[in-house]
Structure 1
């Protein structure tokens, strides 16, 4: 199968690239600033904000599957318009699209959100992700839109890097006790996305971990796993910080879990 990973140099994108290459697929992957490290992959620079460039790349490679993991938190055009450009190009060539979205589309007012819940974002990034979902669903009704949460790995994720920096004194700051998510392991997430890709399912799916934990508890789990001193991590409250964004957002993945063979472990398990 010909597979294109948009945003293949990112944390999730890199895991998808490695899995697809290991499975023997013909893999192309895009990057914005520098290619990823995986070999045996056709790496191409791509700015998804440029519709003509997206159309040219997709048209030349003609992938049977496109996974869109490209985004930039501070850039509406990349996150929202870029998703529309990828969807348009994929639809035009008849490929299957899996679009990666986020729990940031929710405000936290309801705390628990299943796949039927309508986005109500309160941050610019959440609004961009919600706009991307709307565009993808309108352009390609057969696409999978997969909302996920904090993505954790075996040391390579941004949150893990932050915990290490805080625990070793490389950075000052706090981890919020009132900011709750359902973290997912990058390997579980990638496996689930690829499983959904070859299924007959479409529309919104929630792909997150089984445990709801605060960023502070998550930090303690990472520190203990990695042999760091958890007492070096300082707790704080987002509500007191003035930092905008939702507080408690828990993705209910029940419907999606019943469709998957992949088991979505909770953070207390995969960080044990």
Structure 2
């Protein structure tokens, strides 16, 4: 199988590239400014906001499947328009498309979100992710769209944020709940969807709901760091508008996929 990973230099993109190469696939990965640095990957530079360039690359590569992982926080053109450009190019070549979305398109509520709950964004990034989903569904109804949560693993921004908060350089919100997922678990789930016929939305996140502050404490315990200096706050107290209680119900994915989505406490156990 020939797989094109758009956004292959990102944290998740590199994991998808690595796992796909390990499974014997021929992998082309795109980058804009970063480095993919995965042996066996044919790395190509691509600006996803340039529709003509995206179409030309996909037409040249002729992949069996396209995995769309690109985003840039605060950049509508990359997150929303880029996803639409990738969907158009994949549809033109008949490639299977798996689009990676985010729980950031939900506002938060006391009950978990199911796979098909509509977006309720409260900030620009969530709105861009919601727009990307709308475009992908309109262009390719057969595409799989993965809604995921905080992505963990060595080198992840989430782990570094926790370490920064433990050192007093950042703040973790105690009223912002998520369902973190391991990057390799998520990559394996995405690649399972590549070879499936599943169409539509699918929550793919860990089974444990924790606040960002709790995540910081778990990182401290695992790494043997002093948790006394952990800086925490509430969104309400700071006046920051962010999605709060966003728990994803991933029971559909658990029944559909062979990949076991491990909980954060298992991931960060000693």
- Give the TM-score normalised by the residue count of structure 1: 0.96
Cα distance in 2, alignment partners of residues 164 and 150 from structure 1 = 15
1:164 Cα deviation after fit: 1.9
Cα distance in 2, alignment partners of residues 21 and 97 from structure 1 = 18
Q: In the alignment, is residue 179 of structure 1 matched against residue 183 of structure 2? A: no
Q: Quote the RMSD (CA, aligned, Å).
A: 1.1
1:35–1:44 Cα contact (<8 Å) kept: no
1:8–1:17 Cα contact (<8 Å) kept: yes
1:110 Cα deviation after fit: 5.2
Find the partner of 1:251 among 244, 248, 253: 248
Cα distance in 1, alignment partners of residues 188 and 34 from structure 2 = 25
1:38 Cα deviation after fit: 0.8
1:167 Cα deviation after fit: 2.5
Partner of 2:219: 222
Cα distance in 1, alignment partners of residues 145 and 78 from structure 2 = 17
Instruction: For structure 1, list consecutive stretches of 5 or more residues without a partner in the other structure.
Output: none
The count of aligned residue pairs is 269
CA deviations over 1:168-192 (Å, ceiling 9, x no partner) = 45x2x32111000000011111111
Cα distance in 2, alignment partners of residues 119 and 34 from structure 1 = 30
Q: Please state whether the residue corresponding to 1:112 is helix, strand or coil.
A: coil
Partner of 2:66: 66
Partner of 1:236: 233
1:78-157 alignment to 2 at 5 Å? 78-109=78-109, 111-153=111-153, 155-157=154-156
Q: In the alignment, is residue 211 of structure 1 matched against residue 205 of structure 2? A: no
1:241 Cα deviation after fit: 1.1
Cα distance in 2, alignment partners of residues 79 and 111 from structure 1 = 27
2:162–2:215 Cα contact (<8 Å) kept: no
Q: Please state whether the residue corresponding to 2:13 is helix, strand or coil.
A: helix
CA deviations over 1:19-47 (Å, ceiling 9, x no partner) = 11111211100111032111221111111
2:31–2:44 Cα contact (<8 Å) kept: yes
CA deviations over 1:92-138 (Å, ceiling 9, x no partner) = 00100000000011111354110121111111000000000000001
Instruction: For structure 2, list consecutive stretches of 5 or more residues without a partner in the other structure.
Output: none
1:14 Cα deviation after fit: 0.6
- Give the TM-score normalised by the residue count of structure 2: 0.97
